[in-house]
Structure 1
C-alpha cells in the first residue's frame, strides 16, 4: 500500500511540473552595483500608467505562445531591434492608440503595456528611453520594434543588436529598475529673458544704473542648435528632440 501511495505522489509531482507556466528567459546578465556619474539621455519621461488589462493575457501568433511578463522589475534583455514607420501610420497599437512614427514608442511581445524601457545601441553606445505601447515583433531573434523617430536617434538598421532595460514607475512617480542605473531622461529647460530695466537707465541712489536687457539679448534660431555629444542620435528636425517651433 505504501508503494502505491508513493507512486501516486510521484505522478502528481510530474503532472504539476509539466503544467507549470513556462518562465521567461532573459539573455542579459544583471548589471553590477553602480556608483558612477548619472548621464542625461533623450527620450520619453516615464510616468505612472495603469497596465492595460486587455493586453495582459498570454496569446499565440504563428503557432508560438507568448507569455506576458508579470513582474518585469529586473527585466533586461539583449537581442536584435528593428523599426517601423510610415507603413503603420494611422493604425491602432495594442493599447488602442493611433501609431505615430514621430513618437518615441516601441512594440514588444511580452512586456506589460504600457511600459518604459531604456534602449542601448550596442554598436555605438547611444541610448534612449521609449514608451512601449504595441505588440510585436514576431521575427526570430528580434526583441523590439522601434518607431522611426526612436530608430533615427539610435541610428539603427533593421537588425541592430540592442540591450533593453526596464524602468518601473510607482504610483508616486518614483523610478526603479535596471533602466534607471547611470542615466536619467533629459528634461527640456528654457532660460527666461533678463528682467527689463524699468528705471529707464537712470542711476539709483547708492548704486549704478542697471544694464539694458535689450543690449544683451537677441532672438535665437532653434534650427542652428547643435548637439556635440554622442549619447543620443542626431535629431533630424530643428529644436531639442524635434520639439515644434513657435
Structure 2
C-alpha cells in the first residue's frame, strides 16, 4: 500500500507555521496505557545515546515539527531496527528519537513542496540538529538523496495502540480518500499564475492557486483538481502527464 503514495503523498495541509512538539514526559516508572499498569515496552523506555537521555512520547497526537531530515540506506539494510523489525531501505519508514513506533507521518520537503508518508520503526538520527532519518526510497521521493539533508515539516497522521504490551496498528489513516490535485506549474509572479489558471479553466472544472513559501520568496503553484479518490486520481494523473503535462506531479490536501 505504501508504494501507492509515491507520487504525491498526502493529506496535505501545507502548514507553514512551526508548532512546538509535545513536551517529553518522564517514563522512569511504569506508564498506564489503560486499565491496570503495564510494564512499558522497550521502545518506550528512556534511553541514552552519547551521554544524552531521550524520553519517548506515549502518543503522537497533535505532533508537528519543522527541522532537518536526513536518510540512511545500504549500510543498515537488513539490520534490526529499534522496533525489532528488519530495516528495509525500499520501504517507506523512518527513524525518530521520540515518536511512538508505528506512527504514520506526513513529511513535506519545505525546499520543493514534495511529500511522502512514512511509518516510524526506528530511533535516530543522533547527528547534529537532525530530527528524522528517512529510508532510502522515502528520501528519493523527496529529492534529498544527492544533497543528503533537507528542511522538512512532519505531521503525525495516525499511530498504533498498545494492547497486551504489543503494538497493534488500529488507527492507520485512510490514504485513499482526500482531495487530489495535479500540480502543473509554479510561478514567482501571481499574475502569471492567474493567467495560466484562466487558460486551464476553459478545459478543467476546478483549478486553484496554492501559495508556497521558500525562503524569502512566494511561489504560486497552479493545481488542477482530479478526484477525491486516490485510484481515480492516479489514473487521470498518468494520462495527463503522458499526454500533456510532462513535469506535473500529484499532490493531496
**What TM-score does the superposition give when structure 1 sets the normalisation length?**
0.52
The answer to whether the 8 Å contact 1:57/1:67 transfers is yes
In 2: Cα distance, 1:66 partner to 1:114 partner: 18
User: Given the alignment of the two structures, is residue 167 of structure 1 paired with residue 157 of structure 2, yes or no?
Assistant: yes
1:62 maps to 50
In 2: Cα distance, 1:227 partner to 1:169 partner: 36
Output the aligned Cα RMSD: 3.5
Q: 1:15-41, CA deviations, whole angstroms, 9 ceiling, x for partnerless residues?
A: xxxxxxxxxxxx9238xxxxxxxxxxx
In 1: Cα distance, 2:234 partner to 2:50 partner: 49
* Secondary structure of residue in 1 paired with 2:59: coil
In 1: Cα distance, 2:179 partner to 2:97 partner: 26
2:105 maps to 117
In 1: Cα distance, 2:229 partner to 2:131 partner: 23
Q: 1:220-242, CA deviations, whole angstroms, 9 ceiling, x for partnerless residues?
A: xxxx999743347xxxxxxxxxx
The answer to whether the 8 Å contact 1:126/1:231 transfers is no
1:105 maps to 93
User: Given the alignment of the two structures, is residue 71 of structure 1 paired with residue 59 of structure 2, yes or no?
Assistant: yes
* Secondary structure of residue in 2 paired with 1:86: coil
The answer to whether the 8 Å contact 1:104/1:147 transfers is yes
Q: 1:90-128, CA deviations, whole angstroms, 9 ceiling, x for partnerless residues?
A: 100011111111111110000001211000000000011
Q: Which has the higher strand share?
A: 2
Seen in structure 2, the aligned counterparts of structure 1 residues 58 and 125 have a Cα distance that, compared at 3 Å, is same
Q: Which has the larger radius of gyration?
A: 1
The answer to whether the 8 Å contact 2:100/2:159 transfers is no
Seen in structure 2, the aligned counterparts of structure 1 residues 53 and 186 have a Cα distance that, compared at 3 Å, is farther
The answer to whether the 8 Å contact 2:18/2:64 transfers is yes
- Name which of 145, 148, 155 aligns with 2:136: 148
In 2: Cα distance, 1:84 partner to 1:174 partner: 25
In 2: Cα distance, 1:61 partner to 1:94 partner: 13
In 1: Cα distance, 2:229 partner to 2:130 partner: 25
The answer to whether the 8 Å contact 1:118/1:129 transfers is yes
Seen in structure 2, the aligned counterparts of structure 1 residues 172 and 67 have a Cα distance that, compared at 3 Å, is closer
